[in-house]
């Protein structure tokens, strides 16, 4: 099974790579702008089932680079985990257009375009899975917090995209071998990461990045058997 994970330089993404490296039956592709920490971990632990691709998925040329790498190595995908995320924590009136566009580019446009780019690499003979990582801040009816309007609304958009694509994938897509894809979205709550610290300075979360990565890993490998087009809250608490 081949799994591609974005945003693996730290936090949950990095822990996902560590978790999956323990399963020799998996080939795990880690995509990030900075792959130094992951490459060091691979070398230190003599890991053979992780491939790193240094790429900024917000850049069209880097999205094509990922596709070219898969094509060159003749790799078909089974799972994509869109984990990458960006946050700005500012009062609504002070968020600039540049900041707003940057958050939406990372959290919405990049996953949208990456899925488009990588659809041909899914083999329709398998039951495949795309997992979008959202936030409880983007989950309808959940608690909202000042300063996170750009982040939370972008994560809500990712939830909506998930539901839309689930319907399209059900009927099959012209010129793409991707009709056997389930797509789901995990709206995660408070996890002790650098991003949480940026949003809620001083707050101590009940879950570590490692613990959340364990859940996401299991869901990515098995969730397509039970869910499609679902927005699933994964939260002990929100600050």
pLDDT digits (tens, 9 = 90+) for 102-149: 999 999 999 999 999 999 999 888 899 999 999 988 898 888 888 899
- pLDDT tens-digit series, residues 57-85: 999 999 999 999 999 999 999 999 999 99
Which CA distances in Å does 123 have to 127, 132, 139, 175, 180?
A: 9, 19, 31, 13, 8
- Helix segments in 135-208, DSSP class H: 149-171, 194-199
Given CA atoms 112, 6, 181, 174 in this order, what sign does their dihedral have? positive
Q: Put residue 172 in one of left, alpha, beta given phi > 0 → left and psi -120 to 50 → alpha.
A: left
At residue 39 the predicted structure's pLDDT band, cuts being 50, 70 and 90, is: very high
- pLDDT tens-digit series, residues 147-182: 899 999 999 999 999 999 999 888 666 655 556 899
Return the pLDDT at 202: 74
Is 239 a residue whose pLDDT tops 70?
no
- pLDDT tens-digit series, residues 204-226: 766 788 998 999 999 999 999 99
As a CATH number, domain 60-234 is 3.40.50.720
- Helix segments in 30-141, DSSP class H: 36-44, 60-73, 97-104, 110-118
Return the pLDDT at 196: 58
Which CA distances in Å does 78 have to 43, 60, 114?
A: 25, 22, 15
Is 9 a residue whose pLDDT tops 80?
yes
Helix (H, G, I), strand (E, B) or coil at 109: helix
Return the pLDDT at 29: 98
| Distant-in-sequence, close-in-space partners of 135: CB < 8 Å, separation ≥ 6 | 85, 151, 152, 155, 187, 188, 189
Return the pLDDT at 208: 83
Would you state the structure tokens that stand for residue 190, as one six-digit string? 């408070």
Given CA atoms 83, 168, 223, 137 in this order, what sign does their dihedral have? positive
Return the pLDDT at 174: 61
Return the pLDDT at 181: 94
- pTM score of the predicted model: 0.92
């Amino acid at each position: 099974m081949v799994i591609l994970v974005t945003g693996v330089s730290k936090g949950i993404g990095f822990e996902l790579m560590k978790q999956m490296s323990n399963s020799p039956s998996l080939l795990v592709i880690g995509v990030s702008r900075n792959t130094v920490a992951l490459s060091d971990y691979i070398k230190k632990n003599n890991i053979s089932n992780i491939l790193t691709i240094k790429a900024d998925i917000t850049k069209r040329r880097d999205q094509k680079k990922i596709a070219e790498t898969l094509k060159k190595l003749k790799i078909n995908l089974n799972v994509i985990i869109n984990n990458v995320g960006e946050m700005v924590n500012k009062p609504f009136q002070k968020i600039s257009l540049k900041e707003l566009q940057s958050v939406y580019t990372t959290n919405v446009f990049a996953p949208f375009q990456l899925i488009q780019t990588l659809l041909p690499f899914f083999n329709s003979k398998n039951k495949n899975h795309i997992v979008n990582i959202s936030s409880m801040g983007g989950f309808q009816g959940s608690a909202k917090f000042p300063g996170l309007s750009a982040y939370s609304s972008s994560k809500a958009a990712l939830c909506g995209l998930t539901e839309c694509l689930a319907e399209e994938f059900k009927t099959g897509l012209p010129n793409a071998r991707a009709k056997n894809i389930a797509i789901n979205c995990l709206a995660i709550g408070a996890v002790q990461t650098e991003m949480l610290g940026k949003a809620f300075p001083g707050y101590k979360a009940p879950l570590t990045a490692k613990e959340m990565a364990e859940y996401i890993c299991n869901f990515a490998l098995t969730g397509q058997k039970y869910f499609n087009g679902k927005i699933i809250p994964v939260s002990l608490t929100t600050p």
